[in-house]
């Protein structure tokens, strides 16, 4: 018996490549790299010893926490008037 897609939970990846993280968060790749350098979001590299290149992977939970923190800092956004 097939399982309905609406009843199947959607699996979210724990790590995202920078381009995917940019699409997910609406932040630019350069902003994401700056946040990684500042230690505001966590990332890992899967570069193997002796290899020249690897992939940078951004921790989605760390990115979510950073995005959530943006809503708690600064003055509230103005409400639209009807």
pLDDT tens-digit series, residues 15-65: 999 999 999 999 999 999 999 999 999 999 988 888 888 899 999 999 999
8-state DSSP, 15: E
Q: Tell me which residue has tokens 């997910």.
A: 24
What are the b/e assignments for 32-45, b being 16+ CB within 10 Å? Answer: beebbeeeebbbee
Over 60: is that where the pLDDT of 74 sits? no
pLDDT value for 11: 84
pLDDT over 60 at 82, yes or no: no
């Amino acid at each position: 018996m097939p399982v309905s897609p609406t009843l199947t939970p959607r699996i979210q990846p724990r790590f995202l490549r920078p381009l995917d993280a940019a699409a997910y968060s609406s932040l630019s790749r350069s902003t994401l790299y700056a946040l990684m350098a500042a230690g505001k979001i966590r990332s890992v590299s899967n570069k193997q010893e002796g290899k020249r290149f690897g992939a940078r992977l951004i921790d989605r939970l760390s990115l979510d926490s950073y995005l959530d923190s943006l809503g708690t800092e600064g003055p509230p956004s103005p409400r639209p008037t009807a």
